[in-house]
Amino acid sequence: MGDIRRRGAVALGVTALVAPLTLVLGAAPAQAASCTTQTGPYQKKVEKFLGRPADGKQSTADCKAIRAFQTKHGITPNIGYAGPVTWGVMNLMQKQKAVGKTPNKSGKCPVNKGRIACVDLTLQLSWVQDGKKLVYGPVPVRTGRNGHETRTGLKKVYWRNIDHHSTIYDVPMPYSQFFDGGQAFHSAGVSMWNPPGSHGCVNMTKTDAKKYWSLLKKGDDVFVYGRKPGT
């Protein structure tokens, strides 16, 4: 995260916590010299996900399709190899889709707090609910990577800055809503499935971050639970 301007006597206490990844992650990944001809360990599953003939054998067309997916989501190296990272992203997408409109089916996010923003780290999903009523979402989010995990527990939105900018990473963080030290909801200009994750903030698309800005206010509850894959 960046250092945060202090308001009044409140020290926001940013250490080396969170923010989107550095500028390089906002750029398109470098193009590989050529597609790989190697068949990956998740070849058949990846082919099926992409709507390709699921024969479990790498082809030129398979490689191009896999490579396009990798490029779109910032998966490197983007050489069209059906490896564990690529399949991990696809598998997460499938699990997210399966949730549908019942993200709190397990009841893990409190329903006795009124308006609350929930973050499921395991499924990389967030939503806003009011009691048992789903207000918005669920939407895919990008949380803290290994070593910079988004901290779990019940928190509150304590500071909001619509035009926040990280001075440590020199990147914009539009629609920032801070809820735990330097950890905040904010818009990020990368795919929500871009590995390995943020430095702890809950990254969102601009559309979703803007909607959260309109739905939440200072003092609203935030509940973070679960564990991000790979952390």
DSSP secondary structure of 40-57:
PTTHHHHHHHTT----S-
Let me know the angle formed at the C-alpha of 92 by 99 and 48, rounded to the nearest 5 degrees: 100
Residue 99 corresponds to which tokens in the numbers above? Answer: 């949730």
Partners of 133 in beta bridges: 130
* Catalytic residue from among 35, 109, 118, 201: 201
Residue 165: active-site member: no
Torsion of CA 140, 142, 147, 151, to 10 degrees: -60
* Residue of 197, 205, 185, 230 whose CA lies nearest to 75: 197
* Catalytic residue from among 73, 164, 186, 199: 186
Residue 201: active-site member: yes
Partners of 225 in beta bridges: 120
* Residue of 100, 112, 106 whose CA lies nearest to 137: 100
Active site residues: 186, 201
